[in-house]
């Protein structure tokens, strides 16, 4: 499914600020490709392990009206089915290949009740920036335990 034109324009407006945020932390944002037009890739590093690199695929079906799907790959634009691509962080479930938190489509799919609580997705401000900030915060948190190793 491809994003509508309004979503494309909104994300194009907000992406540069998210890219700037990541660049300030040694990461970067890779734009979507024609072969996967709704996906952006955040290349990120935990503050405690700056040599460790995580590649998060962030994909919106509607922007800013719905939370994105967030998955990890071991390489830029790599396969999304490898649990070892995932960081071990509270709320991240490498063996389930999802993040059970209220900034992801996967989290809301598991907890539809969040939509009627203070956890509800609002899409206000710059949601792209909010998502990359949350991902970086997770990598820098005390609950970060490194890369998943089975």
Please report whether residue 150 resides in a domain: no
Give the structural domain span for 19. 5-140
Q: In sequence order, what are the residues at sequence separation of 6 or more whose Cβ sits closer than 8 angstroms to the Cβ of residue 42?
A: 18, 22, 27, 28, 29, 30, 55, 56, 58, 132, 135
Please report whether residue 112 resides in a domain: yes
Please report whether residue 28 resides in a domain: yes
What's the domain count of the chain?
1
Please report whether residue 147 resides in a domain: no
Please report whether residue 148 resides in a domain: no
The CATH number for 117's domain is 3.10.110
pLDDT of 147 reads 97
Please report whether residue 36 resides in a domain: yes
Please report whether residue 128 resides in a domain: yes
What gap in Å lies between CA 97 and CA 83, rounded to an integer? Answer: 6
Please report whether residue 58 resides in a domain: yes
pLDDT of 1 reads 57
pLDDT, tens digit only, all 150 positions of the chain: 578 899 999 999 999 999 999 999 999 999 888 778 789 999 999 999 999 999 999 999 999 999 999 999 999 999 999 999 999 999 999 999 999 999 999 999 999 999 999 999 999 999 999 999 999 999 999 999 999 999
pTM over 0.85: yes
């Amino acid at each position: 499914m491809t994003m509508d034109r309004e979503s494309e324009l909104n994300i194009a407006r907000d992406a540069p600020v998210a890219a700037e945020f990541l660049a300030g932390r040694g990461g970067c944002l890779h734009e979507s490709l024609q072969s996967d037009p709704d996906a952006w890739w955040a290349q990120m590093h935990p503050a405690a392990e700056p040599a460790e690199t995580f590649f998060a695929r962030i994909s919106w079906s509607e922007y800013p009206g719905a939370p994105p799907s967030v998955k990890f790959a071991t390489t830029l634009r790599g396969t999304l089915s490898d649990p070892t691509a995932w960081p071990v962080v509270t709320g991240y479930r490498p063996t389930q290949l999802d993040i059970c938190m209220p900034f992801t489509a996967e989290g809301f799919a598991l907890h539809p009740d969040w939509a009627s609580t203070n956890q509800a997705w609002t899409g206000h401000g710059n949601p792209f920036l909010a998502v990359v900030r949350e991902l970086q915060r997770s990598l820098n948190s005390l609950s970060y335990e490194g890369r998943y190793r089975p």
